[in-house]
């Protein structure tokens, strides 16, 4: 623990009750203190987490308050658990937010982990299994309350000095899985760069980094901690397999194949291929028999533990598998296949057949996956709900999806499905109404346009198709008329107009099936036409006929790549045309002034008989400008 007894806040009272006696950690965004509760007998110590804005910006205050409120709500929701610090109090004071929690005396797991692969402190498999079982028990409790920790790493696991148990701390970025009554759009959680920066990225899986954590995201983090304990390498030092994209770690340490299978299944890149709940991993570990020299397990004892003389002699935790009832999911088969080529010698003599496959699965701790996971009742319920939805029974579908238990591996998927179904249903109803309105108003082509926007829901698609079938004769006739008009415009080299007409023809019609070659042909000719117009504009500009050049440029379609270049030239030629007109105007005005000078150049006669010549000077504003010298024609493009 980082402590600082000389910090300026030591001795300060918070909320008039908690006296700070030690600073555990001090950062720009949060500080952690040990304080005495002066209102209780004996002044027991507690931990105070202080969230404070880093500046006066209102946004920072909002962020602090949101994090404070979220963490307080989650800790209250979790209640009391032996391996989670209990929330004792929470309050706001002087634009600061404070959480008061139970003080855990001990050291973080970081102090127990090896710091390099050459360190002799690297953990044994037995130690690793004990770590997994201990933390999985906490995660099982946390996840059952609809919470994902999202920041599981060695720093947030404290080995309690009093009993040696691990305690999970810091729920500052934990995520509450919405209940069926919550607003479904709250499912995804978005992490800003600032919030991601406070994590150890090596323990964060891809789906959590992209803003969608699941309970198996915590399982990934725990698997990475196990790898760190076994190899002596932190996650940032591990490589990634170039072919599979999975974490590459087994070459760094000698580990049994069964243990490697379990850990690899915890840290799969694709969250759908991981264990979906802490319970799944715990049961697999209970059934996992590992040949370990430290335990002194003899080969014959391990043989009996894994296989036995018959299925009835298996350990109590292992029950026979009805092979006919197995419906293996893809990821179970993949896991079994990845393990089978690495069978330990003790099972190499087992015969073939389903009984052998079951024994192998049990020997690798896969019994739970084979017998329970594939027949997941939550997934079965969700599948039935999807059938009801496609059949047009929205309320029945939602009711079934909402019946998926909170601790089911399909719970998160059920929430996403309900949200998606409601949105799709509303969209489908809106589109159906648009189709019906178009039908009543005789807008045949609009029927097809609106029908395309209808979501892929079987019941709604069937309703929409009824309108399409009724108007097919009319739309076919209209489509043929459009095609003939397009042919006519193309003959006149108006390929842009021809394309516009062809695109109005629904591709679902018989006429629409014939238009694809014409679309390609007219698109190419439209581009050729655009290039020709641009060249004509260049030619006229070279002759200083900018007005004519602009007329050609204005005919270039915005659907062609030439359009952007034409727009640039239009600006250029418009400026040159304006300058040309200004030069001509100045020249015309100068000529007019010269003619005036000639008319008034005869001498006036004074009364005294003296002659007086009146010289008219137009001034510098009317100085003649030579078009030839002041304007240069653009070079030919």
Per DSSP, what are the bridge partners of residue 573? none
d(C-alpha 525, C-alpha 520), whole Å = 9
Report helix angle 411-440 to 394-402, nearest 10: 170
d(C-alpha 285, C-alpha 282), whole Å = 5
Task: For residue 124, give every residue at least 6 positions away whose Cβ sits within 8 Å of its Cβ, in sequence order, or none.
Answer: 292, 294
DSSP codes of every residue in 183-214:
-GGG-S-PPPHHHHTTS-GGG--HHHHTT---
Task: For residue 462, give every residue at least 6 positions away whose Cβ sits within 8 Å of its Cβ, in sequence order, or none.
Answer: none
Residue appearing with tokens 């139970």: 102
Residue appearing with tokens 């036409």: 529
Residue 81 burial (C-beta neighbours within 10 Å; 0-12, 13-18, 19+): middle
Task: For residue 402, give every residue at least 6 positions away whose Cβ sits within 8 Å of its Cβ, in sequence order, or none.
Answer: 180, 414, 418
Task: For residue 296, give every residue at least 6 positions away whose Cβ sits within 8 Å of its Cβ, in sequence order, or none.
Answer: none
Residue 125 burial (C-beta neighbours within 10 Å; 0-12, 13-18, 19+): buried
Could you say which DSSP state residue 310 is in?
S
Determine how many CB atoms are found less than 10 A away from the CB of residue 30: 20
d(C-alpha 124, C-alpha 132), whole Å = 12
Pick the closest to residue 16 from 75, 76, 94, 73 (CA basis): 94
Provide the annotated active-site residues: 151
Q: Are 546 and 528 in contact (CB under 8 A)?
A: no
């Amino acid at each position: 623990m980082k402590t600082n007894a000389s910090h300026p806040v030591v001795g300060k009272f918070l909320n008039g009750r908690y006296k700070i006696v030690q600073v555990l950690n001090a950062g720009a965004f949060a500080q952690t203190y040990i304080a005495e509760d002066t209102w209780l007998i004996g002044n027991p110590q507690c931990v105070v987490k202080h969230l404070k804005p880093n500046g006066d910006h209102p946004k920072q205050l909002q962020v602090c308050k949101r994090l404070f409120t979220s963490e307080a709500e989650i800790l209250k929701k979790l209640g009391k658990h032996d391996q989670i610090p209990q929330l004792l109090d929470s309050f706001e004071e002087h634009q600061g937010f404070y959480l008061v929690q139970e003080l855990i005396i001990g050291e973080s797991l970081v102090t127990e982990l090896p710091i390099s692969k050459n360190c002799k402190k690297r953990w044994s498999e037995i130690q690793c299994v004990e770590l997994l079982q201990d933390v999985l028990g906490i995660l099982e409790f946390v996840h059952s309350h609809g919470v994902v920790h999202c920041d599981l790493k060695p720093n947030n696991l404290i080995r309690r000095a009093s009993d040696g148990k691990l305690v999970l701390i810091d729920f500052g970025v934990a995520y509450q899985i919405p209940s069926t009554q919550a607003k479904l759009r709250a499912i995804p959680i978005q992490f800003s760069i600032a919030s991601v920066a406070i994590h150890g990225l090596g323990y964060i899986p891809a789906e959590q980094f992209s803003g969608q954590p699941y309970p198996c995201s915590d399982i990934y983090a725990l698997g990475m901690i196990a790898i760190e304990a076994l190899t002596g390498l932190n996650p940032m030092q591990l490589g990634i397999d170039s072919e599979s994209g999975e974490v590459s770690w087994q070459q760094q340490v000698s580990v049994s194949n069964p243990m490697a299978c379990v850990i690899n299944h915890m840290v799969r890149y694709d969250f759908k291929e991981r264990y979906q709940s802490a319970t799944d991993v715990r049961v697999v570990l209970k059934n996992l028999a590992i040949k370990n020299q430290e335990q002194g397990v003899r080969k014959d004892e391990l043989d009996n533990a894994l296989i036995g003389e018959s299925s009835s002699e298996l350990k109590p935790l292992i029950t026979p598998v009805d092979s006919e009832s197995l419906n293996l999911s893809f990821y179970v088969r993949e896991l079994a296949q990845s393990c089978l080529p690495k069978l330990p010698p003790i099972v190499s003599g087992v015969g073939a057949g389903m009984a052998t496959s079951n024994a192998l699965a049990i020997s690798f701790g896969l019994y739970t996956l084979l017998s329970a996971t594939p027949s997941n009742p939550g997934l079965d319920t969700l599948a039935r709900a999807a059938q009801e939805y496609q059949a047009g029974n929205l309320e029945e579908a939602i009711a079934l999806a909402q019946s998926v238990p909170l601790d089911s591996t399909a719970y998160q998927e059920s929430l996403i499905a309900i949200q998606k179904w409601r949105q799709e249903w509303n969209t489908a109803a809106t589109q159906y109404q648009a189709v019906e309105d178009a039908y009543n108003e005789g807008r045949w082509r609009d029927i097809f346009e609106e029908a395309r926007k209808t979501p892929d829901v079987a019941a709604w698609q069937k309703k929409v198709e009824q309108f399409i079938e009724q108007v097919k004769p009319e739309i076919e006739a209209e489509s043929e008329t459009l095609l003939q008009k397009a042919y006519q415009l193309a003959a006149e080299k108006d390929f842009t107009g021809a394309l516009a007409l062809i695109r109005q023809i629904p591709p679902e019609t018989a006429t629409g099936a014939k238009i694809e070659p014409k679309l390609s042909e007219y698109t190419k000719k439209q581009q050729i036409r655009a290039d020709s117009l641009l060249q004509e504009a260049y030619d006229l500009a070279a002759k200083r006929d900018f007005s004519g050049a602009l007329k050609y440029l204005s005919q270039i379609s915005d659907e062609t790549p030439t359009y952007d270049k034409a727009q640039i030239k239009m600006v250029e030629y418009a400026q040159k045309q304006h300058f040309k007109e200004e030069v001509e105007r100045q020249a015309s005005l100068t000529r007019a002034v010269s003619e005036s000078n000639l008319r008034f150049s005869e001498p006036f006669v004074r009364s005294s008989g003296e002659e007086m010549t009146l010289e008219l000077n137009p001034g510098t504003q009317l100085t003649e400008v030579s078009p030839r010298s002041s304007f240069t024609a653009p070079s030919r493009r």
